[in-house]
């Protein structure tokens, strides 16, 4: 019997089919152990009985052909480029292949070898031909289904060579592989057995074989990931002592009474969930999701005020300086005039809730003052960037932490803030996303958190009419709409094209765009400029002027993405919209439609990239952030959404958060089932062993400590 850990401890050179030079080449592909080798899964499968035969190929169409190499020859062309010609035969007909500038093909394609080629069928001098097709050498695999491996041209390894090595590894080491998943769960969820699955994935006899095999192995990848997340969640609940926030709720009541609107039902529900978390003995660890404009900031502020009322401090961390500054301004405006009962500085009686700001731009002197105030407990809410994580930031009594992010902070950074609590108590943490993320992604990136969803928008909003303005006429209509809205007393935003480069480069380009528009499309209007390089006071002045209606149009970089809140703004023009991500466009668009007036958003330019047009069209078609998030995941794949920060995501070789949504949910359910039955998996030692391979030693101890 052997485990995955055993396979990981055997080097590939122990296989007789792996020579020293083969071992080097495999290493170049990142394959060093038998485990690496048997988890190097086929890229696709070719079914011999289901292939186009050469004599049936249709000229002008693309086709996959499985055939044997009959003849290979190389000759130079006039331009002294090597030309390799190959004849393939499949028992029914001949196909001629021509490769230009790929001299190594002559070595790759040996006579007698079996290959799978993919390309467009041409006819040249009466022969069927493909020029520079994609080729996988599959060797002389027997069986109906041929597995095609990702081969590495760089390392000079063909699919059939990898197949040979895999074959030996399976036979020698994998037949007795143990299955750590309880049989009862396996049967209930119709998951195949592990050793069988490994063979079925590499050497399937039928299509059903590899489907079942891959499903099981993909499930295992997701289960390992979920087990770590669920164990992390449960370990925190078990080990960390939280603050039992007690507050009579007067401060929050006064704050809410002072608001010009009632809370939505969703906000009230979210606040009750958070209040219960805060009052409880375990530290809160909760994700707050909601569409743009659903009122997340308010919920987060209430969480912080509950902490503040109980005599604790709160921190809000944002991913950029601009966002941090905007949050500070927002929060300061919301709590303006809100008085604390004078319990801490009793002599002075009452004072207002105070909001501080700490970023890398904070001057040394201001920082010093801030640190003193923090230690004295006279700063109630500290807003900032990564700067908050610094060791020198020392709170008197940190009780509530809010992290506003778009997957930009990792688990480690959350942990640093949680360590800033006083007296060994862990502060309560609320994580907010700027726009919704897909459910499967949330389960994975934030799988160690509880989740609250704000699924309701404040009343009185009118959906934004979004159009994709392609071509001069439609763009002219967009600018026409801007002028018409300004004439009607409303305001507009223009978002500058996204440029790569430093903040300085971005600012320069925005400045140029501001000038161009002021002299062109927006001539005669009062046009302001906002970008991240302006001094804080200039930024405030521009925003204030815009808020007061002294500016008609604000030309801005993505700094308007979050926090800007002017209900009189009814049009947004986003230039070169195809270069922005979908979530970002949706977030930007959320800056209009904040009042009762009808609003517009114009996306300018062609959608760049392969799926640019589909992304823009999706925004036109839907104003639902949750729906857009799913489409975004479908279009872009998980890599871009998850980033590489999340441990274990790079181990997802077969599983996809996008294509296997049900399996993701299943893995999560099973993870809870296993952990809640047995928190440290002591009755599933093999499973526990596999997880130990995945996590850092430090976390290992924490997770498995009962
Ligand atoms: P999010 O952060 O979720 O995108 P915000 O917190 O910025 O949304 O809220 C958007 C706007 O809606 C803000 O102007 C906020 O003051 C306002 N708002 C929040 N809650 C309500 C409510 N219950 N009724 C009306 N307006 C609200
Ligand atoms: Mg608590």
On average, the pLDDT of the chain sits at: 89
Local confidence band at 15 (pLDDT 50, 70, 90 cut-offs): very high
Q: Is residue 641 part of a domain?
A: no
DSSP state of 399: E
* Higher pLDDT pick, 615 / 422: 615
Q: Which atom of ligand 1 is nearest to the CA of 565?
A: 14
Report, as an integer, the average pLDDT of 558-579: 84
Strands 62-76 and 114-120: antiparallel
Interval 169-227: pLDDT, tens: 999 999 889 999 999 999 999 999 999 999 999 999 999 999 999 999 999 999 999 99
Local confidence band at 643 (pLDDT 50, 70, 90 cut-offs): low
User: Which pLDDT belongs to residue 184?
Assistant: 96
Interval 313-328: pLDDT, tens: 999 999 888 788 889 9
Report, as an integer, the average pLDDT of 290-316: 94
Q: Is residue 650 part of a domain?
A: no
Residues 36 and 81 in one domain: no
Report, as an integer, the average pLDDT of 5-30: 94
- Give the ligand at the shortest distance from the Cα of 285: 2
Angle 175-177-179 from CA coordinates, rounded to 5°: 130
Report, as an integer, the average pLDDT of 258-266: 95
CB–CB of 298/267 below 8 Å? yes
Report, as an integer, the average pLDDT of 397-406: 89
Residues 509 and 609 in one domain: yes
* Higher pLDDT pick, 26 / 644: 26
Indicate whether residue 326 lines ligand 1 (CB < 6 A).
no
User: Could you tell me the distance, in angstroms and rounded to a whole number, from the CA of residue 457 to the centre of ligand 1?
Assistant: 8
Tell me the two tokens of residue 606: 């062609």
- Give the ligand at the shortest distance from the Cα of 240: 2
Interval 335-345: pLDDT, tens: 999 998 755 55
Local confidence band at 645 (pLDDT 50, 70, 90 cut-offs): very low
Number of domains the chain contains: 5
User: Which pLDDT belongs to residue 644?
Assistant: 46
Q: Is residue 5 part of a domain?
A: yes
Q: 526 in helix, strand or coil?
A: coil
Distances (CA, A) of 156 to 135, 138, 150, 294: 13, 14, 12, 54
CATH number for the domain that contains residue 76: 2.40.50.140
Residues 588 and 497 in one domain: yes
User: Which pLDDT belongs to residue 325?
Assistant: 85
Q: Is residue 453 part of a domain?
A: no
Tell which one of 258, 260, 298, 299 to mutate to probe ligand 1, the residue whose CB is within 8 A of the most ligand atoms.
Answer: 298
Q: Is the pLDDT of residue 566 over 90?
A: no
Residues 24 and 107 in one domain: no
CB–CB of 119/113 below 8 Å? no
Indicate whether residue 296 lines ligand 1 (CB < 6 A).
yes
Tell me the two tokens of residue 236: 């925190």
Q: Residue 549: which residues within 8 A CB-CB, separation 6 or more?
A: 491, 568
DSSP characters over 223-269: HHHHHHHHHHHHHHHHH--B------SHHHHHHHHHSSSPPPHHHHH
Could you tell me the pTM of the whole model?
Answer: 0.80
User: Which pLDDT belongs to residue 640?
Assistant: 59
Residues 17 and 70 in one domain: no
CB–CB of 88/115 below 8 Å? yes
High-pLDDT (> 90) share of the chain, % = 55
User: Could you tell me the distance, in angstroms and rounded to a whole number, from the CA of residue 284 to the centre of ligand 2?
Assistant: 6
Residues 122 and 164 in one domain: no
On the CB side of 54, how many CA atoms lie within 13 Å of its CA? 21
Residues 481 and 401 in one domain: no
User: Could you tell me the distance, in angstroms and rounded to a whole number, from the CA of residue 656 to the centre of ligand 1?
Assistant: 34
* Cα–Cα distance for residue pair 252/247, rounded to 1 Å: 9
Strands 491-495 and 553-556: parallel
Q: Is the pLDDT of residue 408 over 80?
A: no
* Cα–Cα distance for residue pair 230/232, rounded to 1 Å: 5
DSSP state of 34: H
User: Could you tell me the distance, in angstroms and rounded to a whole number, from the CA of residue 294 to the centre of ligand 1?
Assistant: 6
User: Which pLDDT belongs to residue 568?
Assistant: 93
Q: Is residue 418 part of a domain?
A: yes
Residues 511 and 604 in one domain: yes
Q: Label residue 80 left, alpha or beta by phi (over 0 means left) and psi (-120 to 50 means alpha).
A: left
User: What is the CB neighbour count within 10 angstroms for residue 19?
Assistant: 11
* Range with the poorest average pLDDT among 145-154, 209-218, 509-518, 519-528: 145-154
* Range with the poorest average pLDDT among 121-135, 560-574, 638-652: 638-652
Strands (E), 256-317: 285-290, 313-317
Residues 322 and 423 in one domain: yes
* Cα–Cα distance for residue pair 591/568, rounded to 1 Å: 10
Interval 57-112: pLDDT, tens: 889 988 888 899 999 998 877 777 789 999 999 888 999 999 988 888 888 788 88
CB–CB of 308/353 below 8 Å? yes
User: Which pLDDT belongs to residue 641?
Assistant: 59
Tell which one of 266, 268, 270, 293 to mutate to probe ligand 1, the residue whose CB is within 8 A of the most ligand atoms.
Answer: 293
Distances (CA, A) of 134 to 41, 67, 106, 223: 19, 13, 14, 35
Residues with CB under 5 A from ligand 2 (ion): 242, 278, 280, 428
Place of tokens 């999701």: 289
Local confidence band at 637 (pLDDT 50, 70, 90 cut-offs): confident
Residues 481 and 571 in one domain: yes
Q: Is the pLDDT of residue 282 over 80?
A: yes
Distances (CA, A) of 304 to 274, 344, 630, 701: 10, 17, 31, 32
Indicate whether residue 458 lines ligand 1 (CB < 6 A).
yes
Q: Is the pLDDT of residue 302 over 80?
A: yes
Tell me the two tokens of residue 153: 């041209």
CATH number for the domain that contains residue 520: 3.40.50.300
Q: Is residue 652 part of a domain?
A: no
Local confidence band at 667 (pLDDT 50, 70, 90 cut-offs): very high
CB–CB of 100/78 below 8 Å? no
Residues 492 and 595 in one domain: yes
- Give the ligand at the shortest distance from the Cα of 400: 2
User: Which pLDDT belongs to residue 407?
Assistant: 63
What is the residue range of 611's domain?
464-622
User: Which pLDDT belongs to residue 539?
Assistant: 84
Residues 19 and 153 in one domain: yes
Report, as an integer, the average pLDDT of 502-510: 84
Domain boundary among 115, 141, 167: 141
Torsion sign over Cα 678, 684, 687, 690:
positive
């Amino acid at each position: 019997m052997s485990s995955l850990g055993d396979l990981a401890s055997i080097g590939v050179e122990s296989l007789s089919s792996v020579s020293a030079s083969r071992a080097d080449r495999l290493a170049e592909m990142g394959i060093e152990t038998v485990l690496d080798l048997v988890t190097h899964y086929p890229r696709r499968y070719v079914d011999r009985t289901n292939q186009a035969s050469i004599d049936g190929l249709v000229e002008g169409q693309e086709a996959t052909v499985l055939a044997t190499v009959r003849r290979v020859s190389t000759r130079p062309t006039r331009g002294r480029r090597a030309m390799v010609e190959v004849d393939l035969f499949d028992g029914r007909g001949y196909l001629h292949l021509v490769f230009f500038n790929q001299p190594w093909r002559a070595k790759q394609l040996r006579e007698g070898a079996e290959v799978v080629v993919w390309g467009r069928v041409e006819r040249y001098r009466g022969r069927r031909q493909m020029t520079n097709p994609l080729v996988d050498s599959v060797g002389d695999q027997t069986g109906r289904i041929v597995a095609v491996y990702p081969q590495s041209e760089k390392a000079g390894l063909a699919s059939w060579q990898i197949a040979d090595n895999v074959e030996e590894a399976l036979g020698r080491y994998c037949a007795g592989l143990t299955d750590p998943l309880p049989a009862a769960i396996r049967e209930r969820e119709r998951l195949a057995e592990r050793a069988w699955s490994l063979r079925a994935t590499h050497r399937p006899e039928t299509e059903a074989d590899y489907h079942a095999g891959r499903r099981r192995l993909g499930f295992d990848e997701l289960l390992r990931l979920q087990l770590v997340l669920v164990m992390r969640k449960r370990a925190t609940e078990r080990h960390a002592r939280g603050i039992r926030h007690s507050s009579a709720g007067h401060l929050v009541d006064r704050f809410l009474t002072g608001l010009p609107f009632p809370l939505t039902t969703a906000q009230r529900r979210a606040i009750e969930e958070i209040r219960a978390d805060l009052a409880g003995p375990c530290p809160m660890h909760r994700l707050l999701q909601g569409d743009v404009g659903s009122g997340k900031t308010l919920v987060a502020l209430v969480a912080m005020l509950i902490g503040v009322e109980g005599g604790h401090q709160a921190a809000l961390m944002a991913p950029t300086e601009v966002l941090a500054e905007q949050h500070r301004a927002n929060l300061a405006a919301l709590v303006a005039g809100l008085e604390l009962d004078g319990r801490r500085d009793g002599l002075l009686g009452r004072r207002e809730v105070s909001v501080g700001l700490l970023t890398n731009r904070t001057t040394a002197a201001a920082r010093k003052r801030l640190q003193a105030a923090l230690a004295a407990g006279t700063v109630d809410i500290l807003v900032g960037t990564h700067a908050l994580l610094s060791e020198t930031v020392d709170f008197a009594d940190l009780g509530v932490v809010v992290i506003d992010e778009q997957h930009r902070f990792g688990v480690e950074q959350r942990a640093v803030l949680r360590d800033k609590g006083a007296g060994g108590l862990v502060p309560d943490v609320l994580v907010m996303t700027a726009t919704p993320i897909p459910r499967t992604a949330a389960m994975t990136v934030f799988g160690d958190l509880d989740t609250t969803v704000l699924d309701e928008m404040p009343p009185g909003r009118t959906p934004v009419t979004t159009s994709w303005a392609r071509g001069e006429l439609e763009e002219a209509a967009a600018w026409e709409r801007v002028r018409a809205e300004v004439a009607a007393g409303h305001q507009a935003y223009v978002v500058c094209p996204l440029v790569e480069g430093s903040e300085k480069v971005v600012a320069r380009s925005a400045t140029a765009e501001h000038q161009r528009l002021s002299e062109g499309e927006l001539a005669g209007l009062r046009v302001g400029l906002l970008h991240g390089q302006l001094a804080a006071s200039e930024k405030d002045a521009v925003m204030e002027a815009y808020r007061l209606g002294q500016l008609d149009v604000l030309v801005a970089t993505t700094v308007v993405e979050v926090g800007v809140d002017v209900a009189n703004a009814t049009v947004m023009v986003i230039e070169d919209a195809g270069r922005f991500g979908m979530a970002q466009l949706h977030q930007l668009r959320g800056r209009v439609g904040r009042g009762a007036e009808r609003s517009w958003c114009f996306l300018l330019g062609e959608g760049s990239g392969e799926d640019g047009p589909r992304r823009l069209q999706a925004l036109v078609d839907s104003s639902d952030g949750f729906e857009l998030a799913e489409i975004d995941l479908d279009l872009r794949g998980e890599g871009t959404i998850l980033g590489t920060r999340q441990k274990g995501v790079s181990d997802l070789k077969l599983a996809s958060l996008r294509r296997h949504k049900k399996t993701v949910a299943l893995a999560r359910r099973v993870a809870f089932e296993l952990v809640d039955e047995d928190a440290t998996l002591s009755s599933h030692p093999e499973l526990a062993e596999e997880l130990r391979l995945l996590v850092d030693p430090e976390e290992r101890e924490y997770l498995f400590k009962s």
